[in-house]
Structure 1
Amino acid sequence: MTGPFQSFLEPGQLVEHPDHPEWGWGQVQSAVGERVTVNFQHQGKVLIDASLIALRLLPR
């Protein structure tokens, strides 16, 4: 068994949801363990389990 999941994402980074491109880009608001809160352009704030969804990091 492995240890707790740790997200590599940090607040302020821009990401895209691989299954919902219509949400537009999102800015990471917080990342605690696998729980990542992202504020998307067209969807608003969404809590994502980063151990299940691999958000795509966008270049700045």
Structure 2
Amino acid sequence: METNLVDCPECGLPATRREGGRLPSTDGPVEHVHVRCVIGHRFFGPSDILLHRRRPR
């Protein structure tokens, strides 16, 4: 199971992203993910709405 950091869709703070699988849609299968941010917001939705965080150097 792959996990990485993204921006929380609600508050913009760091959040973990976990694969959720593919669900059918009218345009074909869409990849979905589970997201949980550092203050507890939780989401399940299409992966294309997420912004990936850059790792500090």
Shorter chain as normaliser: what TM range? 0.5 to 0.7
Q: Normalized against structure 2, the TM-score is what?
A: 0.53
Counterparts of 1:20 and 1:57, CA distance in 2: 14
Q: Normalized against structure 1, the TM-score is what?
A: 0.52
Higher strand share: 2
Asked if 1:36 corresponds to 2:33, the answer is yes
- Segments of structure 1 that go 5 or more residues without pairing to the other structure are 1-9
RMSD after superposition: 2.6
Aligned length: 48
Larger-Rg structure? 2
* Runs of 4 or more consecutive aligned structure 1 residues displaced over 6 Å after TM superposition: none
